[in-house]
Amino acid sequence: MKLLVNGKEVEVQVDPETPLLWVLRDTLGYRGTKFGCGMMLCGACTVHLDGSPTRTCMTPVKMAEGKAITTIEGLSPDGSHPLQRAWTEVGVPQCGYCQSGQIMVAAALLKKNPNPTEDEIRTSMVNLCRCGTYQRIRKAVSRAAEMMRGED
């Protein structure tokens, strides 16, 4: 089947029921998206399907056909996305394992809502973080929003 990943069209030979997560990681080598729970409870496996944040650990790859898949690797070529810069500035990651998913959720939020309130950030950032970086995630999302609005 043909998939469109980070702007590139790729051909994969996999069982169409294979979760997209494992196609991205094992077949295509995009290992920035992580396996946390396998039951869509934690969000470490979040990518964008046509811009919508999607948990891929239980999404069969066939459902991604014909959609634009964006992984953390596709957010920017060099870490220059405002979220990645804000994340770095605030010092968000600790172990870092959940952060790809967190950033993908934040990217979708800011696309829809360029000026989220703290409450809106709290409500949208639904992914789990075992290290407890939530406080800094909140700050970094606000900071990235500032950057994106040009309020630098």
Q: Kind and range of the H or E element at 100?
A: helix 99-112
Q: Rounded distance, CA 115 to CA 2, Å?
A: 36
- Residue 56 Cβ, how far from another protein at the closest point, in Å? 12
Q: Does residue 129 bind another protein (CB under 8 A)? A: yes
What are the residues whose beta carbons fall under 8 Å from the beta carbon of 141, sequence distance 6 or more? 83, 86, 106, 109, 110, 116, 121, 125
CB 107 within 8 A of CB 82: no
Q: How far apart are CA 7 and CA 117, in angstroms?
A: 31
Closer CB to another protein, 67 or 146, in the complex: 146
Quote the least distance from Cβ 105 to another protein, whole Å.
Answer: 10
Among 113, 115, 117, 123, which residue sits at the site for another protein (rule: CB under 8 A)?
123
- Tell me, residue by residue from 83 to 102, as one string, x for binding to another protein by CB under 8 A and - for no binding: xx--xxx-xxxxxxxxxx--
Residue numbers of the site for another protein (CB under 8 A)?
Answer: 15, 18-19, 22, 25-27, 29-39, 41-42, 44, 71-73, 75-76, 78-79, 83-84, 87-89, 91-100, 103, 121-123, 125-138, 152
